């Protein structure tokens, strides 16, 4: 019973902390025991597991929708049981966290600010979010989303992101609902995926006086865009990388759903 309770608490905290605008929220969060606080997330309230559950721990299921009611995009999103060694949960919105698309202080960097918002950019038709917590690497958590687009819009998004990563290496600031976060040392990072194309980069994000090392990967598969964002919620200063198996599984589900 205790193991299940710990698993529920950990998953709730990880998904809370890992919504796309997590680095712009101002509420504090607890890290691992005696660990530093990490920037908060949009939905639940804070990047931070208190303990990493064992591989056998149960994770709460994402809200189940009847197959005839669930959208194609919802069926393609990750769900509990998809990945051994990871807990997956639906990301519910934290009413105290900022909503919408952050506005960058530099026009060239707006695509990177958009990616930190409710959806990869305003052209997304539908977005489904998931929180992914690793039971293999203490503190590693990933915010994962899948979004549907017109294919031309998805292609434009990828081109704009590539240009923005190249232009914004020195960093930028972004504001949403009067809350501001800064992103410095934007650096491209090679990352292999099975999609049509991808853009991957790392950045140091700072909000409310707390900094975190973040790795982002955006992948296009036809008219579907996958956005993955990783950080270590037990130690925000520790470098994190989106696990290859998480990206591979998400793309595999998209292909299978068709």
Residue 248 has pLDDT above 80, yes or no: yes
pLDDT (tens digit per residue) in 47-56:
333 222 333 3
pLDDT of residue 99: 72
Give the pair of three-digit tokens for residue 54: 């064992």
142-185: pLDDT as tens digits: 999 999 999 999 999 999 999 999 999 999 999 888 888 899 99
Q: Whole-angstrom Cα distance, residue 95 to residue 117?
A: 15
Q: What is the average pLDDT value for the chain, to the nearest integer?
A: 77
Residue 178 is predicted with a pLDDT of 81
pLDDT confidence bin for 68, thresholds 50/70/90: very low
Q: 14-31 burial string, b = 16+ CB within 10 Å, else e? A: bbbbbbbbbbbbbeebbb
Q: CB of 132 within 8 A of CB of 144?
A: yes
Residue 39 scores a pLDDT above 90: no
Name residues whose C-beta falls within 8 Å of residue 96's C-beta, 6 or more positions apart in sequence: 25, 27, 45
Q: What is the DSSP string of 162-211?
A: HHHHHH-TT-EEEEETTEEEEEEEEEE-----SSSEEEEEEEEEEETTEE
Joined tokens for residue 166: 């190249």
CA distance 229 to 20: 8
Res 208 pLDDT > 80: no
Q: Degrees (nearest 5) of the Cα angle 38, 243, 190?
A: 100
| CB neighbour list of residue 107: distance below 8 Å, 6 or more residues apart | none
Most distant CA pair in the chain: distance in Å?
A: 51
- Rounded mean pLDDT of 98-124? 90
Give pLDDT, residue 93. 57
Which residues of the chain form beta strands (DSSP E)? 86-90, 103-104, 126-134, 140-148, 172-176, 179-188, 197-207, 210-221, 224-232
Cα–Cα distances (Å) from 239 to 94, 106, 213, in that order, read: 26, 26, 5
Question: Alpha-carbon Rg of the chain, whole angstroms?
Answer: 17
Q: Which two tokens stand for residue 41?
A: 């997330």
Of the pLDDT bands very low, low, confident and very high (cuts 50, 70, 90), residue 234 is confident
Domain positions in the chain are 2-63+72-257
Cα(164)–Cα(154) distance, integer angstroms: 15
Between 46 and 154, whose confidence is greater?
A: 154
Going by C-alpha positions, the residue among 150, 141, 159, 168 that lies closest to residue 197 is: 159
């Amino acid at each position: 019973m205790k193991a299940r309770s710990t698993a529920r608490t950990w998953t709730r905290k990880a998904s809370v902390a890992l919504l796309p605008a997590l680095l712009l929220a101002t509420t504090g969060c607890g890290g691992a025991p005696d660990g530093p606080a990490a920037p908060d997330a949009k939905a639940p309230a804070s990047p931070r597991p208190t303990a990493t559950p064992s591989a056998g721990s149960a994770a709460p299921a994402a809200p189940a929708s009847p197959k005839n009611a669930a959208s194609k995009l919802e069926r393609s999103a990750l769900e509990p049981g998809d990945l051994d060694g990871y807990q997956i949960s639906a990301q519910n919105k934290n009413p105290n966290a900022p909503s919408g698309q952050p506005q960058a202080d530099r026009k060239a960097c707006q695509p990177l600010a958009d990616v930190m918002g409710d959806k990869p950019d305003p052209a997304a038709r539908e977005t489904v979010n998931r929180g992914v917590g690793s039971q293999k690497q203490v503190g590693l958590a990933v915010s994962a989303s899948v979004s549907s687009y017109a294919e031309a819009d998805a292609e434009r998004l990828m081109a704009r992101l590539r240009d923005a990563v190249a232009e914004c290496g020195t960093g930028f600031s972004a504001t949403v609902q009067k809350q501001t976060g800064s992103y410095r040392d934007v650096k491209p990072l090679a990352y292999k995926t099975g999609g049509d194309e991808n853009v991957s980069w790392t950045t140091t994000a700072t909000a409310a006086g707390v900094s975190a090392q973040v790795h982002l990967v955006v992948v296009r598969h036809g008219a579907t865009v996958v956005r993955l964002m990783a950080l270590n919620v037990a130690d925000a200063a520790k470098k994190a990388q989106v696990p290859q198996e998480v990206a591979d599984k998400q793309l595999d589900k998209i292909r299978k759903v068709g």
